[in-house]
């Protein structure tokens, strides 16, 4: 079983491949589906649009949170196709990390000329 850093390297490699083939400017869903496909081809357990309930006062609440991609139940990927990351994107993935107890999240913005400039690691300091 791979750790978060090993998974991160595979995810970044797959993101590079998707970006190389599609380029910037498409809808987020397009990149999400293609990234899911690339990760699945690598033999990883990958879940797309996974519902994430909020537990409040011992009650499970379905409040509409959805993880774009969850890899091996360890790494959350939030796919974007935006001009630039905004504080709300970081807040979103931090919230998901806290709710899932995952340690690592990757914000990946495919709407950039060089994909390396569109990948941000976000660590949950449990």
pLDDT of residue 104: 98
Q: Whole-angstrom distance between the N-terminal and C-terminal Cα of the chain? A: 21
| Tens-place pLDDT, residues 55-77 | 889 888 888 899 999 999 999 99
- Which letter does DSSP use for residue 24 in this model? S
Q: Tell me how many domains the chain contains.
A: 1
Report pTM: 0.94
Across the range 73-84, mean pLDDT stands at: 97
| Tens-place pLDDT, residues 5-54 | 999 999 999 999 999 999 999 999 999 999 999 999 999 999 999 999 88
- Distance between CA atoms of residues 109 and 96, nearest Å: 17
Asked if residue 1 has pLDDT above 90, the reply is no
pLDDT of residue 53: 87
- Distance between CA atoms of residues 53 and 125, nearest Å: 21
pLDDT of residue 102: 96
Asked if residue 121 has pLDDT above 80, the reply is yes
pLDDT of residue 125: 85
Tell me the residue range of the domain where 107 lies: 4-123
Which tokens in the block code for residue 27? 């809808």
Q: Are 107 and 78 in contact (CB under 8 A)?
A: yes
């Amino acid at each position: 079983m791979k750790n978060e850093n090993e998974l991160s390297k595979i995810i970044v490699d797959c993101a590079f491949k998707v970006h190389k083939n599609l380029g910037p400017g498409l809808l987020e869903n397009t990149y999400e589906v293609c990234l899911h496909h690339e990760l699945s081809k690598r033999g990883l357990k990958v879940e797309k649009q996974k519902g994430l309930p909020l537990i409040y006062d011992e009650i499970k609440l379905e409040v509409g949170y959805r993880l774009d991609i969850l890899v091996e139940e360890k790494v959350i990927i939030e796919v974007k196709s935006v001009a630039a990351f905004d504080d709300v994107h970081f807040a979103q993935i931090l919230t998901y990390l806290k709710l899932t107890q995952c340690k690592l999240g990757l914000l990946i913005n495919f709407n950039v000329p060089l994909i390396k400039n569109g990948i941000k690691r976000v660590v949950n300091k449990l």
